[in-house]
Amino acid sequence: MKRTIHIGTSGWSYKHWRDRFYPTSLPATEYLSYYAQFFDTVEINTSFYHLPKIETVAHWTEMVPEGFYFCPKMSRYVTHMKKLHDPGETLERFFEVFQPMRGSTGPVLVQLPPSLGFHESLAADFFSVLQRDYPDQHYALEVRHDSWTKAEALELLQRFHVPLVISQSGVGFPYMEITSAKDIYIRFHGPGALYASCYTDEELRVFADKALEWMEGGHSVWFFFNNDINGYAITDALRLKDMLA
């Protein structure tokens, strides 16, 4: 992947985007190919709750043009149930399912629960497994516990070349703009009501300017809008895209 700026949303299959983004007459089976006419990346949120069939993953890959990137979300069984312990077998299943997407995946999103703070040995073991068994894959870590913003946690993430996700929200998610990894990964959850508020031009302009600086510094920048209610994610993503055109 060349160093560039990617803009997309956290998922694409939302019924409430019909009429707001998807034409009324468009079948839901064609949403992804329509979406890919406007954006070059998307997060796969469903893989957090349950893994898709490998045939489904292959079909998704066929529906998008070359240069389109998927960012799957790590299974919650790994992050929320096992809390990063003994990940080997589950990771093997996860990456087996997404094998047809090899070459079309951006960073895999690893989102941790609020209860999971930083434990150096546990984190080091987890990322060591990823680095050893899946060395060609990139990752991004989104946290909900403030201990992950401490110096020792940031040093460990830097050692494994894993960016800390910049989580913009109005509810006080841990927030740090760390640029020590090749990838910079930003998620917009809504500046006011979580998932249900839109960003102002001024707020988006700040990130547009930062993105240009980050790219000039040799980074790949990934923007994802997770404020899907009322279609805010689509309109905000399109506005940011226009600012960077």
> What is the predicted pLDDT for the residue at 180?
85
Domain boundaries along the sequence of the chain: 5-244
Mean pLDDT of the chain: 97
Q: What confidence tier does 3 reach under pLDDT thresholds 50, 70, 90?
A: confident
Task: Name the nearest CA neighbour of 187 among 162, 221, 217, 154.
Answer: 221
What would the pLDDT profile of 60-115 be if each residue is shown by its tens digit? 999 999 999 999 999 999 999 999 999 999 999 999 999 999 999 999 999 999 99
Q: 211 with 5: CB under 8 angstroms?
A: yes
Mean local confidence (pLDDT), 160-177:
96
In the chain, count H helices and then E strands. Answer: 9, 8
CATH of domain 5-244: 3.20.20.410
Q: Which two tokens stand for residue 157?
A: 């993430």
Burial 48-64 (b: 16+ CB within 10 A, else e): beebbeeeebeebbeeb
3-state class (DSSP) for residue 22: strand
Q: Is the pLDDT reported for residue 29 higher than 60? A: yes
Q: Is the pLDDT reported for residue 1 higher than 60? A: no
Cα–Cα dist 109/101, whole Å: 15
pTM above 0.95, yes or no: yes
Mean local confidence (pLDDT), 142-159:
97
Mean local confidence (pLDDT), 128-132:
97
What would the pLDDT profile of 89-99 be if each residue is shown by its tens digit? 999 999 999 99
> What is the predicted pLDDT for the residue at 2?
63
Q: 175 with 166: CB under 8 angstroms?
A: yes
What would the pLDDT profile of 176-231 be if each residue is shown by its tens digit? 999 989 999 999 999 999 999 999 999 999 999 999 999 999 999 999 999 999 99
3-state class (DSSP) for residue 215: helix
Q: 142 with 110: CB under 8 angstroms?
A: yes
**Ramachandran angles phi, psi of 33, nearest 5°:** -65, -35
Burial 95-131 (b: 16+ CB within 10 A, else e): bebbebbeebbbbbbbbbeeebebeeeebeebbeebe
Q: Which two tokens stand for residue 142?
A: 């989104």
Task: Name the nearest CA neighbour of 142 among 118, 160, 167, 123.
Answer: 167
